[in-house]
Amino acid sequence: MRYQRQTVLKEFGVAAQEKLSKAKVLVIGVGGLGIPVLQYLNAMGVGTLGMVEADTIDVTNLQRQVLYAENEVGAPKLATALGKLQAQNSTTIFKPFHTFLTRENALDIIAEFDLVVDASDNFATRYLINDACVLLKKTFVSGAIQGFEGQLSVFNYNGGPTYRCLFPTMPADSEIPNCNDNGVLGVIPGIIGNLQALETVKVITGIGEVLSGRLLLFNGLHQSYQNIKFKLVTANLERTSLEESYGSSPCSIGPSIAIQDFQKALVNKDNFQLLDVRTVLEYQEYHLPNSTHIPLADLGFHQAKIKKDSLVYVICQSGKRSRIAQQLLLEDKISVINIDGGINAYKGLLTAK
Amino acid sequence: MTVLLFGVTKDIIGKNTLMLSDIVKDKLKTVQDLKMYLTQEYPNLENLSSLAIAVNNEYADDSLLLKQTDEIALIPPVSGG
């Protein structure tokens, strides 16, 4: 009865609903893309939904991550989303994973599911998802956004092309901007995420034509959609293991400190230098006391400001740029400790109390 | 020959669409020629590890021969979510 408005469709019917109820879908990332994917798959009756996320809600997430509310800023995304999705559909089985996807956990987590939705926000995770899905022979529905644009495709579907057939080499973080650092219009992930939910339902039920071997390019400013055809590069299916490393993924390179431990060091007035690598605007808006400000772009010119004989922590808004700074400094033999989650996590800690 | 720009290529080239002049078009026989011309004019394009090129809405290899009427698209990956 609950699903009558879709089972009445002759192309869909009771048989497709039955397939949805038996499906196990893993959504990686519960942010701008993951939220609409989860809300619609949950509403439509997908039986089991896995969710991978370790971030907390930041006030700057609210313009696009429409499941979260003002009074939840600082709370973990995973638990917050879970509560709301359970209220939305009590028959769904949820499998929450409070972690980021890493080289170490990816295969174990993905193996439990029939199908993966890539709703992540960084290249390291995107390439990791591709490689893990190729190894495990899982289809994944990929969406990505930037500014006013979006990209959508279904990869590794019935022996079809993969992400690496389009983009063979993983870009460095510094090459291509991400939403946290360079902006996205709030509604764009809603559009692309909803299209991901649609493709997921089509893969599960077999209705329509799956967007495999085609890349949809969406431009919100021109309201234009372009479909680019591309082919399988067979070598991309012949993978036998994951890569040794996925660059600046959350699991890699250089020491880091959890926000709780950093806060203790702050309270104890431990002897350290705090390096803030955010932009001038971000720094003016909010910063921690006694921090040394060098925007990431200027890091090369102002290294002299870094105290070489001191313990140095590096911070940014979300923990990504600080990781890049950490790597750049390491190339110049300067060792610093990355603060996981950055200012967002610190503010979260303050609000949580 | 029109070159549609997506993602960061818009910022690098500073336009939404690039129209190539007849003189330039005559010199570009293949996708490889086009790539070399674009990276000469806009050196920052060379920093992109992965940049897909589509000709008439189809992913194109370097050896593909270009025609005057082709519509080309420069497609870098985007990572936001």
- Residue that finishes a domain, picked among A237, A269, A301: A237
Residue of chain B nearest A123, judged by CA positions: B79
The answer to whether the Cβ–Cβ distance between B8 and A177 falls below 8 Å is: yes
Question: Which residue is it, tokens 């003189």?
Answer: B23
Q: Show pLDDT as tens, one digit a residue, over chain A (353 residues).
A: 899 999 999 999 999 999 999 999 999 999 999 999 999 999 999 999 999 999 999 999 999 999 999 999 999 999 999 999 999 999 999 999 999 999 999 999 999 999 999 999 999 999 999 999 999 999 999 999 999 999 999 999 999 999 999 999 998 766 766 555 668 999 999 999 999 999 999 999 999 999 999 999 999 999 999 999 999 999 999 999 999 988 754 434 578 898 988 998 888 888 899 999 999 999 999 999 999 999 998 888 888 889 888 889 999 998 888 988 888 888 778 889 999 889 998 988 888 76
**DSSP-derived secondary structure for A233-268:** -GGGG---S--S--TT-TT-SS-EE-HHHHHHHHHT
The CATH number of the domain where A114 resides is what? 3.40.50.720
Q: Answer for the pair A266, A288: CB distance below 8 angstroms, yes or no.
A: yes
Chain A, 145 to 174: residues with Cβ < 8 Å from chain B are 145-147, 149-151, 166-172
Contact: A171, B58; criterion CB under 8 Å: no
Count structural domains, chain A: 2
CB A182 within 8 A of CB A146: yes
A276 in a structural domain: yes
3.10.20.30, 3.20.20.70, 3.40.50.300, 1.10.10.10: which CATH number matches B2-71? 3.10.20.30
- Please give the ipTM for the structure prediction: 0.94
* Contact by Cβ (8 Å): A290, A341: no
Q: Do B50 and A171 touch (CB under 8 A)?
A: yes
Residues A211, A278: one domain?
no
**Residue A265 shares a structural domain with residue A192:** no
In a domain, A59, yes or no: yes
Q: Are residues A53 and A159 in the same domain?
A: yes
Domain assignment present for residue A246? The answer is no
Query: How far is Cα B13 from Cα A27, in angstroms, rounded to an integer?
Result: 35
A129 occurs within a structural domain: yes
Yes or no: say if A263 and A341 are a contact pair by the CB < 8 Å rule: no
Q: Are B58 and A214 a contacting pair, CB within 8 Å?
A: no
Closest-CA distance, B74 to chain A, in angstroms, reads 11
Q: Are A162 and A266 part of one and the same domain?
A: no
Helices A187-205 and A13-22 pack at an angle, to 10 degrees, of 110
The reply to whether A41 falls in a domain is yes
Structural domain span for residue A129: 4-237
Based on the domain organization, do A326 and A194 belong to the same domain? no
Same domain, A213 and A324: no
Element (H, E) at A211: none
Q: What are A121's strand-pairing partners?
A: none
Q: How far is A178 from chain B (nearest CA, A)?
A: 5
Q: How many CB pairs under 8 A join A and B?
A: 104
Same domain? For A74 and A105 the reply is yes
Is residue A148 domain-shared with residue A231, that is, in the same domain?
yes
Asked if A142 and A232 sit in the same domain, the reply is yes
Interface residue of A51, A64, A151 to substitute, partner B, most B CBs within 10 Å: A151
- A304: exposed, middle or buried (Cβ count in 10 Å: 0-12, 13-18, 19+): exposed
Determine, yes or no, domain membership for A201.
Answer: yes
Between B8, B73, B79, which is nearest A123 by CB?
B79
Give the gap in angstroms from C-alpha B2 to the nearest C-alpha of chain A.
15
**Chosen from A60, A64, A116, A146 to mutate, greatest number of chain B CBs within 10 A:** A146
